[in-house]
Amino acid sequence: MSDNLGARLRNAKESLSAGYDRLNAQWADAEKTLRAVNLSQAVWASFKGETQESDDGMYSHDFEHCLAFLKQDGEWRICYAVGEVSDPDSFSPRPVMDCSVEIRMMALDGLPKLLETVVEKAEVESSKIEVALGAAAESPASGRD
């Protein structure tokens, strides 16, 4: 192996390793941020749709790529799923960090949408809690007259 090729190989390895580390850190930071919100229910956000047609053009299927923040194996995780729009059971979420590099890179496009959806869900949940607490404070059982 020539010295030039060896140097290029080392540089490519270092660059690729640094890129993987940054990609993994991005997802780990996002999970940590969302866990801190302390939601009580799963949140789904669709971020990419596509249509696949049969070779003969007789039929087509619509697919959605989604990110979800949900409890997976007892832990709140950001998960990725792709499935057929007309078949909700076709979506099988798995933690983004367990997905291929290609999926982790593609799914970054959906992260802002997931974050926005989590914020909206947290705001709604917070409002519901406030209403419930207000109703409880006004009930005869609260001891206030």
Which range marks the domain in which residue 32 is found?
A: 3-136
Average pLDDT (14-37) is 95
- Position 55 in a domain: yes
The total number of residues written for the chain in this structure: 145
Question: What token pair was written down for 141?
Answer: 């059982």
Q: What is the predicted pLDDT for the residue at 54?
A: 81
With cut-offs at 50, 70 and 90, classify the pLDDT of residue 143: low
Q: What is the predicted pLDDT for the residue at 1?
A: 66
Domain count of the fold of the chain: 1
Report the run of H or E that residue 50 belongs to, with start and end: strand 43-53
- Position 82 in a domain: yes
Average pLDDT (47-56) is 88
- Position 142 in a domain: no
Pairing relation of β-strands 43-53 and 94-95? unpaired
Contact predicate 41/129, CB 8 Å:
no
Q: How far apart are CA 78 and CA 26, in angstroms?
A: 12
Average pLDDT (131-135) is 85
In the predicted structure, residue 48 carries a pLDDT above the cut 90:
yes
- Position 112 in a domain: yes
